[in-house]
């Protein structure tokens, strides 16, 4: 199923994201959980799903620091997201790889700067190694760990996440392949998909032009070929369109609808 990430238009409220997705023709959504209660209250999300006829197929575990009402530890957040997915009958939870250090992101215009806090979180790494396999064995929900981008600090490339390289991407049973993140590594998404040895169960689809999360049909990545590659391999997972609100031109509702429709049409044409 082709999904829309509510994160693509997160500057709108959750209800309006569902409304726009349904109006344009999407059949399902991936809900990006953040500080707003509307993004993680089960009864409200179930009501939106029924009202707009959209399947909540996937939840993205929250990753912001100091998130009210949620535990601080990544592992505990993932566990809570899995329980929410079970309640909503979503089949996939997306979670980020553990960071080498806690970090904040400073947005300055079109640039995003990674600001690491230089202390380790070995407990989080241990959770991924020791507890995640047991949780996955006990739930039908696929916990799909997302490969992350290469960041830069003062112009220098830095790999801020554990297991975040081509050889270690298949470390987990289920993976989320994010195409724009591949762009930051200068890796063809087809190469990353093949190297994952059949463990990719979820796709975040957006393009890259030096900026991340562009519209699928606008950027340097040959995502038409990637989608045809997935189809030829009989890929059975979801494909989520996950762009930035800027790429969707969120300040103009007419342009948002056009961009949402064009992104969906691009996926349907090539997949």
Q: Beta partners for 151?
A: 158
Per-residue pLDDT of 79-95, as tens digits, reads 999 999 999 999 999 99
Position 65 scores a pLDDT of 75
Q: Provide the 3-class DSSP secondary structure of residue 52.
A: helix
Name residues whose C-beta falls within 8 Å of residue 184's C-beta, 6 or more positions apart in sequence: 149, 150, 151, 208, 212
DSSP state of 223: H
pTM for the whole structure = 0.91
Rounded mean pLDDT, 188-212: 96
Q: What is the CATH number of the domain that holds 164?
A: 3.20.20.150
Q: How many domains does the chain divide into?
A: 1
Range of the domain at 63: 2-270
> Nearest 5°: phi and psi at 3?
-110, 160
Q: Are 82 and 143 in contact (CB under 8 A)?
A: yes
The predicted pLDDT at position 166 comes to: 82
pLDDT digits (tens, 9 = 90+) for 92-151: 999 999 887 655 555 555 555 555 555 455 578 889 999 999 999 999 999 999 999 987
Q: What percent of the chain has pLDDT over 70?
A: 91
């Amino acid at each position: 199923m082709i999904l829309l990430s509510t994160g693509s238009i997160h500057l709108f409220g959750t209800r309006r994201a569902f409304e726009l997705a349904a109006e344009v023709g999407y059949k399902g959504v991936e809900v990006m959980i953040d500080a707003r209660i509307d993004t993680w209250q089960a009864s409200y999300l179930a009501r939106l799903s029924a009202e707009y006829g959209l399947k909540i197929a996937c939840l993205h575990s929250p990753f912001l620091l100091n998130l009210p009402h949620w535990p601080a530890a990544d592992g505990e957040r993932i566990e809570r997201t899995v329980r929410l997915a079970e309640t909503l009958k979503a089949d996939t939870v997306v979670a980020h790889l553990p960071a080498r250090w806690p970090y904040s992101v400073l947005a300055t215009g079109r640039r995003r700067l990674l600001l690491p806090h230089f202390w380790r979180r070995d407990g989080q790494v241990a959770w991924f190694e020791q507890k995640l396999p047991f949780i996955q064995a006990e739930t039908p929900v696929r916990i799909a760990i997302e490969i992350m981008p290469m960041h830069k600090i003062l112009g220098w490339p830095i790999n801020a996440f554990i297991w975040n390289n081509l050889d270690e991407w298949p470390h987990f049973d289920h993976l989320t392949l994010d195409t724009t993140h591949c762009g930051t590594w200068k890796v063809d998404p087809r190469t990353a998909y093949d190297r994952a040895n059949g463990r990719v169960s979820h796709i975040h689809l957006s393009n890259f032009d030096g900026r991340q999360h562009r519209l699928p049909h606008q950027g340097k990545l040959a995502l038409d070929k990637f989608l045809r590659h997935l189809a030829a391999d009989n890929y059975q997972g979801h494909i989520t369109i996950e762009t930035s609100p800027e790429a969707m031109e969120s300040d103009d509702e007419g342009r948002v609808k056009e961009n949402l429709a064009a992104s969906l049409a691009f996926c349907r044409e090539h997949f």
